[in-house]
Chains A and B, each alone.
Chain A
Amino acid sequence: MSEGLILGGPTHEAPLGILVALYLLMMSAAEGLIFLGVWRFWQKGPGKSLTFGLLWAATIMALGPLNLLLDLSQPFRFINLYKTFVITSPPSWGAMVLPWFITFSLLFIWFHLRIEVLKIEQPRKALVWAALLPWITENKLSLELAVKMAKGVSLMALIAAVIMMIYTSMIVFIPFSRSVWASLPMMILFAASAIAVGASLYGWGACRYGFSEDGVFWRKVGQRALLLEGIVILLLLTPLFQYPGRGETVFQIFWQEEPLSVCFELLLGIVLPFFMLRQNQSSSLWSGSAALLILLGAAQTRYNLVAGLMNVTVSGRELMEFEILPWEMMVIVVIVGTVVISSELLVSIFYPLKPSIFFKRWLQRSM
């Protein structure tokens, strides 16, 4: 009898799988990048330092929803999500707002790139863009008009990003159905995490390409977001926020089940990068390492919440073994790898290719 009660094995037998966690991470990164990008655009106008993060946001948005499709047991029926709207169901919210978020965000990115392309001095790079996206350089849209259009769509993208932040956190606490987690702190946690990821990626880009003033700005934003994240997680460990009927908070459950994961999340994902960002380091290796730790911490948060949700809600089964299957690992590697490679290729069109310091040293030694 117990064999029939054990959940585990294929992801399609678990309520939420690792691909949902990856989707939550990727879309949170995109939300943070767009939110901060729009804010900075309105503050300082278009600029090269934004291009880096916005290009990453574009590739993330292009591939992030693929995780959700692959997670469905009936992926070709996803259109059923658009035949009805169920206000009590966060996935229904997501189905409605996700296309708007992606559309307005990509439009904003397009207009921003349009403005940047108009400033490109090297004719070869302008030609590359003309080859890839011919309507960007052939269009007679003036710089001023492009800025106005970018501002217009950026507001829509910002609103959609905020709704997305709310919706991606709601996925894990099934509001309206029955309360599982502490709802408001979870929303704040996800929003802070998204902003921390976005700020760290912008900061990495600023350090890589020598925008030191922007680097300082993004470091400060990242620090504040990490501080907020840490405060929320610590609050969730207190008796203030408890799961009704269980007398435990979600993080107390994690602490019992996966203390190493909680330590990683707190120390390596929040505390260490916070202190790294406080240092006045402009090297791309330093900022890149901080960004990577923040990303891993954010991934751990979402993985923990997805696994913890199963632990809390799938209580009727033997303790679930949240194993990641080989095909899931392959999907994760392919999707994440494609995002990284595509982003770097797109970025290299706008910025000069910067070989890593280790490659430079190798070159020097071999000469």
Chain B
Amino acid sequence: MSKGPKRYVMVVDLQRCVGCNACTVSCKLEHDVPTGNYRTWVLERENGTFPEVDNFKLPRLCNHCDNPPCHKACPTGATFVADNGAVLIDSTVCIGCRYCMAACPYNARFINRRLNVADKCTFCFHRIEEGLQPACVSTCVGHSRVFGDANDPDSKVSQLIRNHETQRLDPELGTDPQVYYIVPPETTLKALWSAKEGDKP
């Protein structure tokens, strides 16, 4: 058990993701995300040339960075970092300037058309406060997503990070993302996604 403050992270094993998008659907249902917006989504990526082609699924969500650019960019302080490391938005303060959307290199944010404020993945904060897992983690059929406290050395996420070579999305941007990916040996995370190319197929 962790004796100090919690630091929640997510580990995504790309070798286990089957691209069913159950995580996307469960997140939509859990948070009533408006049509056309997604707090989490799965990209399909192909690597290589015929006949040596591989297909990969890349779950994407807010990286809850330790050095979040959205937090620095927010002019009202609506975006803040919780004690457990989750980056959250106070929807009563947000003015919808969308500057955080411009600052985020991972395009994790959108404007919620129902509330007219910025919105994004919250690591299901209301669930983790109750001791539950985020909706996407609970729903994942391939057990690809693992969520937990990185400050607890006995947690599954800590073990996965210790025992596997994990990669993160564009850490050279200085954001210190807290979503780790276990990538199949035949590719790299950079080959699947970069801030430059983004989610373009």
Instruction: Flag if B74 contacts A74 (CB, 8 Å).
Output: no
Per the bound structure, the CA–CA distance linking A177 and B117 in Å amounts to: 20
**Chain B positions near chain A (C-beta within 8 angstroms):** 21, 36-38, 41-42, 60, 69-70, 72-78, 93-99, 101-108, 110-111, 113, 116-117, 170, 172-175, 194-201
Per the bound structure, the CA–CA distance linking A177 and B75 in Å amounts to: 12
Stretch at the interface among A223-231, A261-269, A292-300, A310-318: A310-318
Whether A313 contacts B105 in the complex (CB less than 8 A), given A71-B97, A91-B99, A245-B170, comes out as: yes
A80: nearest residue on chain B (CB-CB)? B76
Instruction: Flag if B172 contacts A317 (CB, 8 Å).
Output: no
Per the bound structure, the CA–CA distance linking A4 and B107 in Å amounts to: 12
Instruction: Flag if A309 contacts B102 (CB, 8 Å).
Output: yes
Whether A86 contacts B77 in the complex (CB less than 8 A), given A246-B196, A318-B199, comes out as: yes
Stretch at the interface among A9-17, A124-132, A341-349: A9-17
Those 8 A-B pairs whose CB atoms lie nearest each other, nearest first? A73-B96, A316-B107, A315-B198, A177-B69, A15-B102, A91-B75, A92-B75, A88-B72
Given A245-B170, A245-B173, 17 other A-B residues pairs in contact with their CB atoms under 8 A: A3-B36, A4-B41, A5-B38, A13-B113, A16-B99, A77-B95, A80-B76, A83-B77, A89-B75, A174-B102, A178-B175, A245-B194, A245-B195, A245-B196, A313-B107, A317-B199, A318-B199
Per the bound structure, the CA–CA distance linking A92 and B21 in Å amounts to: 39
> Which residues from chain A contact B36 at a C-beta distance below 8 Å?
3-4
A176 at the interface (CB under 8 A from B): yes
Chain A: residues with Cβ within 8 Å of the partner, total of 45
> Which residues from chain B contact A15 at a C-beta distance below 8 Å?
98-99, 101-102
Per the bound structure, the CA–CA distance linking A244 and B170 in Å amounts to: 11
Per the bound structure, the CA–CA distance linking A318 and B36 in Å amounts to: 13
Instruction: Flag if A89 contacts B41 (CB, 8 Å).
Output: no
B68: nearest residue on chain A (CB-CB)? A177
Whether A4 contacts B106 in the complex (CB less than 8 A), given A72-B96, A178-B173, comes out as: no
Whether A16 contacts B98 in the complex (CB less than 8 A), given A1-B41, A4-B41, comes out as: yes
Whether A88 contacts B73 in the complex (CB less than 8 A), given A13-B110, A316-B199, comes out as: yes
Instruction: Flag if A178 contacts B107 (CB, 8 Å).
Output: no
Per the bound structure, the CA–CA distance linking A246 and B98 in Å amounts to: 23
Whether A316 contacts B102 in the complex (CB less than 8 A), given A1-B41, A80-B95, A177-B73, comes out as: no
